[in-house]
């Protein structure tokens, strides 16, 4: 556990030092669970988005994209049930004055102390879910006392009573009308359902994909990028015939796991967890969990939302939300939802790829072995020394290739230090221009992961970068 804590600290400091993630509003002392992305962070994030977006809207000819607004009519949230039901439980420790989610206190305790005792784990969790389903807050508090759960800060078990808390951020417009910052992107898809059908001439089954910011007033917002109050989601709602619910649920469950495994972070780091306690809108549900430095936690949920949202929006808006089908006439389609947190996905990739490795002379290098197709910089062009015309040749090469790939030119340090810096930001290839380049137009190519070096002709550079970093070959695997 200590080792994992040290690793998390190393991860946080590396991500700041190399321009991936900065704590937000740092000069004012920071703001809990909100982060800014630096140059390499936003590039990595955009590459993950691009991969997801293409996997959905380019590879599937029956999925289209939208980008709906963050602020919506407040009736959207009454119809969806978020005003009434998007609540979390909270409990305070009387000594530390720290606030917790009691369900998470219990889940974390079970994960820590009963991870080898499947029977006991199931027994405790099923008691928790029973209490949650029956709004039995006293039962949850009893469970906390029975398990003798202590506050990690004060180390006492002096707990307050448990209360409900709505997680939506409420804001006010100039007429003092309430608006909400959306807690999920999905509702923007449902309210545009008929617009998409008409404008794109879509027929069931079809999907609508969206990437965008969501906001949740999380009670326990810790663990770096894992639980944020402002975050991005990549969600897809797939509209189907009701009788095909099980088929499509299984299809998307498998498809989403396949997508994650394409990052090659280690298949054993992922697992499915069937949802025994479903959200108010769902009839089937499963989570994909990832083994973070603090254990297995959810990264993506796949749910059958049935016709819950479309019926509710029809009732509230009095507008038709059904589809017309020759044989079935008017009906509400069912919806299979896949919902992935972009920041959590970033975290999985970053935390699994950052390594300290022993190299020659007992030295240690820090290397970010991210999948090359996601690398912020695809290749660095580096002159061996800062004289004798080598920087000019390197710059010329850079200017020639920069239209095809995101490159970096650097001549500020010795070549060894330049390689270390590129390792630290995950650049898969470095091309070094030296005195032989002047004689025979060859350069050294150095591979990040193996550190192996080869001599190639400058005309081969583009092909080498393409082969190493191309997204197309990864996308092809989605349907294999
Ligand atoms: P959790 O149980 O961890 O709170 P959830 O079940 O509330 O998550 P969903 O409502 O299913 O999450 O949201 C879908 C996805 O959105 C999650 O799998 C996660 O990747 C992401 N997500 C949800 N809440 C947050 C958050 N506070 N910070 C970062 N990502 C989040």
Ligand 1 pocket member 301 (CB < 6 A): yes
Please identify, among 289, 319, 350, the residue that sits at the C-terminal boundary of a domain.
Answer: 350
Ligand 1 pocket member 233 (CB < 6 A): yes
CA atoms lying within 13 Å on the CB side of residue 466: 9
Tokens found for residue 20: 């991936």
CA atoms lying within 13 Å on the CB side of residue 247: 8
Query: Rounded CA gap, 427 and 400, in Å?
Result: 19
Give distance in angstroms: CA of 360 to centre of ligand 1.
43
Residue 385, classed as helix, strand or coil, is coil
Quick one: which atom of ligand 1 is closest to the CA of 225? 29
Q: Report the nearest-CA residue for atom 20 of ligand 1.
A: 341
Strands 379-383, 407-409: pairing kind: parallel
Residues 47 and 95 in one domain: no
The domain tally of the chain equals 3
Mutational pocket test of ligand 1: of 289, 294, 301, 337, the residue with most ligand atoms within 8 Å of the beta carbon = 301
User: Which residue in 267, 209, 258 sits closest to 235, CA to CA?
Assistant: 209
Residue 11 included in any domain: yes
DSSP string, 9-43: HHHHHHHHHTTSEEETTGGGT--TT-EEE-HHHHH
Q: Give me the CATH number covering residue 160.
A: 3.30.40.230
Q: Report the nearest-CA residue for atom 8 of ligand 1.
A: 298
Question: Per DSSP, what are the bridge partners of residue 440?
Answer: none
pLDDT tens sequence across 309-336: 999 999 999 999 999 887 778 999 999 9
Quick one: which atom of ligand 1 is closest to the CA of 218? 27
Confidence label for 430 from pLDDT (cuts 50, 70 and 90): very high
Quick one: which atom of ligand 1 is closest to the CA of 287? 18
Residues 36 and 162 in one domain: no
Residue 223, classed as helix, strand or coil, is coil
14: Cβ contacts below 8 Å, ≥ 6 apart: 20, 354, 366, 424
Residues 219 and 308 in one domain: yes
Residues 187 and 276 in one domain: yes
Q: Report the nearest-CA residue for atom 31 of ligand 1.
A: 341
Mutational pocket test of ligand 1: of 132, 233, 256, 296, the residue with most ligand atoms within 8 Å of the beta carbon = 233
> Are the C-beta atoms of residues 70 and 182 closer than 8 Å to each other?
yes
Ligand 1 pocket member 352 (CB < 6 A): no
CA atoms lying within 13 Å on the CB side of residue 91: 23
**H/E element holding 319?**
none
Degrees, nearest 5: CA angle 14-107-292: 25
Ligand 1 pocket member 305 (CB < 6 A): no
Quick one: which atom of ligand 1 is closest to the CA of 229? 27
Ligand 1 pocket member 289 (CB < 6 A): no
Q: What percent of the chain has pLDDT over 90?
A: 86
Please identify, among 288, 319, 350, the residue that sits at the C-terminal boundary of a domain.
Answer: 350
Degrees, nearest 5: CA angle 21-23-27: 130
Query: Rounded CA gap, 373 and 467, in Å?
Result: 10
Residues 328 and 197 in one domain: yes
Question: Per DSSP, what are the bridge partners of residue 409?
Answer: 381
Task: Give yes or no for residue 289 having a pLDDT over 60.
Answer: yes
Q: Which of 241-255, 274-288, 415-429 has the lowest mean pLDDT?
A: 274-288
Q: Report the nearest-CA residue for atom 19 of ligand 1.
A: 341
Residues 227 and 145 in one domain: no
Ligand 1 pocket member 216 (CB < 6 A): yes
Give distance in angstroms: CA of 341 to centre of ligand 1.
6
**CA dist 184 to 39, 166, 169, 281, 337, Å?**
26, 14, 12, 13, 12
Residue 276 included in any domain: yes
Query: Rounded CA gap, 336 and 480, in Å?
Result: 22
Question: Per DSSP, what are the bridge partners of residue 324?
Answer: 330
Q: Report the nearest-CA residue for atom 14 of ligand 1.
A: 339
Residue 146 included in any domain: yes
- How far apart are the two ends of the chain, measured CA to CA in Å? 39
Dihedral pair phi/psi, residue 299, rounded to 5° = -120, -30
Residues 91 and 66 in one domain: no
Ligand 1 pocket member 339 (CB < 6 A): yes
Q: Give me the CATH number covering residue 463.
A: 3.40.50.800
Q: What is the mean pLDDT of residues 5-11?
A: 91
Residue 300, classed as helix, strand or coil, is strand
Query: Rounded CA gap, 385 and 434, in Å?
Result: 8
Query: Rounded CA gap, 36 and 428, in Å?
Result: 25
Q: Give me the CATH number covering residue 315.
A: 3.30.930.10
Q: Rounded to two decimals, what is the model's pTM?
A: 0.92
Task: Give yes or no for residue 4 having a pLDDT over 80.
Answer: no
Residues 212 and 323 in one domain: yes
Give distance in angstroms: CA of 230 to centre of ligand 1.
11
Task: Give yes or no for residue 275 having a pLDDT over 90.
Answer: no
Quick one: which atom of ligand 1 is closest to the CA of 303? 11
Residue 81 included in any domain: no
Residues 110 and 243 in one domain: no
Residues 113 and 160 in one domain: yes
User: Which residue in 361, 459, 352 sits closest to 416, CA to CA?
Assistant: 361
pLDDT for position 79: 97
- Phi-psi bin for 432: left (phi > 0), alpha (psi -120 to 50), beta? beta
Quick one: which atom of ligand 1 is closest to the CA of 221? 27
Q: Report the nearest-CA residue for atom 12 of ligand 1.
A: 301
Residues 23 and 62 in one domain: yes
Residues 202 and 292 in one domain: yes
Give distance in angstroms: CA of 305 to centre of ligand 1.
16
Confidence label for 238 from pLDDT (cuts 50, 70 and 90): very high
Residue 157 included in any domain: yes
Range of the domain at 196: 2-71+181-350
Query: Rounded CA gap, 37 and 23, in Å?
Result: 9
Task: Give yes or no for residue 347 having a pLDDT over 80.
Answer: yes
pLDDT for position 112: 86
Ligand 1 pocket member 256 (CB < 6 A): no
Query: Rounded CA gap, 260 and 278, in Å?
Result: 23
Ligand 1 pocket member 410 (CB < 6 A): no
Q: What is the mean pLDDT of residues 428-434?
A: 98
pLDDT for position 118: 86
Please identify, among 319, 350, 381, the residue that sits at the C-terminal boundary of a domain.
Answer: 350
Q: Which of 57-61, 148-152, 328-332 has the lowest mean pLDDT?
A: 328-332
User: Which residue in 397, 290, 409, 404 sits closest to 351, CA to CA?
Assistant: 290
Quick one: which atom of ligand 1 is closest to the CA of 288? 18
pLDDT for position 63: 98
Q: Which of 11-20, 167-176, 252-261 has the lowest mean pLDDT?
A: 167-176
Q: What is the mean pLDDT of residues 79-96?
A: 93
Q: Report the nearest-CA residue for atom 24 of ligand 1.
A: 227
Degrees, nearest 5: CA angle 169-174-175: 95
**What average pLDDT does the chain have?**
94
pLDDT for position 5: 78
Give distance in angstroms: CA of 16 to centre of ligand 1.
24
Ligand 1 pocket member 227 (CB < 6 A): yes
122: Cβ contacts below 8 Å, ≥ 6 apart: none
Task: Give yes or no for residue 370 having a pLDDT over 70.
Answer: yes
Residue 306 included in any domain: yes
Task: Give yes or no for residue 51 having a pLDDT over 90.
Answer: yes
Best-predicted range by mean pLDDT among 14-28, 90-104, 119-133? 14-28
Residue 59 included in any domain: yes
């Amino acid at each position: 556990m200590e080792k994992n804590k040290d690793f998390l600290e190393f991860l946080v400091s590396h991500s700041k030092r190399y321009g991936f993630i900065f704590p937000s509003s740092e000069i004012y002392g920071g703001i809990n669970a909100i982060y800014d992305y630096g140059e390499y962070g936003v590039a990595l994030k955009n590459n993950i988005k691009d991969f997801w977006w293409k996997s959905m809207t380019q590879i599937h000819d029956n999925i289209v994209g939208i980008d709906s607004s963050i602020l919506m009519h407040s009736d959207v949230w009454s119809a969806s049930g978020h005003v009434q039901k998007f609540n979390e439980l909270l409990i305070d420790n009387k000594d530390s004055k720290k606030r917790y989610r009691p369900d998470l206190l219990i889940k974390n305790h079970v994960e820590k102390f009963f991870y080898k005792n499947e029977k006991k784990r199931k027994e405790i969790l099923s008691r928790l879910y029973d209490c949650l389903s029956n709004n039995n807050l006293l039962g949850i508090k009893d469970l906390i006392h029975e398990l003798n759960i202590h506050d990690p800060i004060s180390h006492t078990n002096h707990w307050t009573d448990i209360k409900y808390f709505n997680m939506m951020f409420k804001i006010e417009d100039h007429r003092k009308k309430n608006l909400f910052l959306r807690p999920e992107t999905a509702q923007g898809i449902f309210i545009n359902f008929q617009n998409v059908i008409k404008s794109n001439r879509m027929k069931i089954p079809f999907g609508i994909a969206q990437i965008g910011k969501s906001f949740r007033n999380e009670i326990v917002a810790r663990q770096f990028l894992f639980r944020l109050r402002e975050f991005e989601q990549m969600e897809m709602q797939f509209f189907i015939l009701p009788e095909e619910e099980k088929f499509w649920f299984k299809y998307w469950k498998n498809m989403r796991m396949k997508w994650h495994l394409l990052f090659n972070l280690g298949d054993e780091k992922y697992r499915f967890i069937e949802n025994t306690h479903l959200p108010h809108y769902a009839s089937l549900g499963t989570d994909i969990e990832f083994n973070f430095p603090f254990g297995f936690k959810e990264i993506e949920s796949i749910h059958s939302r049935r016709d819950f949202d479309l019926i509710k929006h029809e009732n509230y808006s009095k507008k038709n939300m059904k589809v017309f089908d020759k044989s079935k006439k008017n009906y509400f389609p069912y919806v299979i939802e896949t919902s992935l947190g972009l920041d959590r996905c970033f975290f999985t990739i970053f935390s699994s790829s950052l390594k300290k490795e022993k190299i020659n002379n007992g030295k240690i290098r820090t290397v970010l072995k991210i999948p090359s197709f996601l690398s912020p910089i695809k290749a660095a062009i580096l002159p061996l020394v800062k004289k004798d015309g080598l920087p000019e040749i390197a710059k010329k090469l850079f200017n020639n290739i920069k239209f095809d790939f995101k490159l970096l030119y650097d001549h500020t340090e010795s070549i060894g230090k330049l390689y270390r810096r590129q390792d630290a930001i995950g650049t898969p290839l470095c091309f070094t221009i030296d005195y032989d380049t002047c004689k025979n137009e060859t350069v050294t190519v150095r591979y990040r992961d193996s550190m192996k070096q080869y001599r190639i002709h400058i005309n081969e550079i583009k092909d080498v970068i393409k082969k190493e970093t191309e997204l197309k070959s990864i996308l092809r695997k989605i349907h294999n």
